[in-house]
Copies of this chain bind each other. A is one copy, B any other.
Amino acid sequence: MTSYDVARVAGVSQSAVSRAFRPGLSVSAKTKDKVMKAAKKLNYKPNAIARMLITQRSGMVAVIISSISNLIYPELLSRITDQLSSRDVRVLLFTLDEKEQLAELLDQIWTFQVDGVIALTAHFDHEDIARFEEHNIPVVLYNRQVPDHPANTVCVDHEQGLKQLVDLLVAGGNRRFLVLSGPTESDVANERRIIALRHLSRHGIDEVPVAYGDFSYQSGKDCFARWMKDHDAPDAVICSNDTMAIGCIDEARDGQGLKVPEELSVTGFDGIHAAFWTGYDLTTVRQPVNQMAKAAVDILMERVENPTVPPEKRVLAGSLFKGSSARS
């Protein structure tokens, strides 16, 4: 079923059919009516692929996500998809687990002529960003920045969030700390670790040990277990994200027999749903996920409409959630 078939049945030209299906184009009510009747009869739907080819706009945005062991990603994906849907844009989903796959993934993105990209994960250097500019595809990075290069970014305010978190912990009498960081390949992990250590240092707490996991529940559990093998329990564990914090709590309680928060404070970051489950009730910094998703989509679509708008960085404040996983 093509627009020609509809045109024939409706007794109009093919271009009339095309016009009838594009909003805001000059067609008389009578013609439009004839076209719509014929279209319904033939069960005709315009072919989006052909439209993409001619308009040079795919109506699709690539969303890059990594494996779902970090529970913040599905929540973000969900919000971003909703935001894009409401603007009548479709999501082409890409997952990226290994750094090496990035080049291949980018190739796919070019060939698919997506209108834009939202990257929830992956490290982008200025060369990658330059390639996007070359291809004229706007990109928005989530919670990460490109060193020495302006880029569209929406970030939670790590500085402010972690300051509040650290202040709270210190005020609660915690003195001996352990930082449970995400992997050093992760921009987010590095930022959160460095900022946390800096704020601890401002309280005169230095030489804080760091253990490294991969943002997953299991790694939170394992890292803490490994640490406890040849160390005394610290007062508090500052985790790079909620998923690891939950793993750490489970290991503390069930593996090490420590009472949380009486004998051990544990904090997370993100504010995933599971963090608020009463079994954990995590002290954490909540990303304003809805607003951040909206900001990411707003920034992106503005650049899709008008490619000359310069890069923009938006930093949104997180909110400290005082759960019962930390003495405060």
Contacts and interface: CB of A to CB of B under 8 A. Distances in A.
Nearest to A82: B95
Q: Could you say how many copies of this chain the assembly holds?
A: 2
A54 to B, nearest CB: 10
Given A78-B67, A82-B95, A253 B273 contact: no
A273 B217 contact: yes
A52 interface: yes
Contacts of A45: 107, 110-111
A113 B277 contact: no
A258 to B, nearest CB: 13
B274 A254 contact: no
Given A90-B93, A221-B278, 12 more contacts: A43-B134, A49-B113, A60-B92, A68-B75, A73-B74, A74-B74, A81-B93, A81-B95, A90-B112, A91-B92, A246-B277, A246-B279
19 contacts: A43-B134, A46-B111, A47-B53, A49-B49, A49-B52, A50-B53, A60-B92, A73-B74, A82-B95, A90-B94, A92-B92, A93-B93, A217-B273, A217-B277, A246-B279, A250-B277, A251-B278, A253-B279, A279-B279
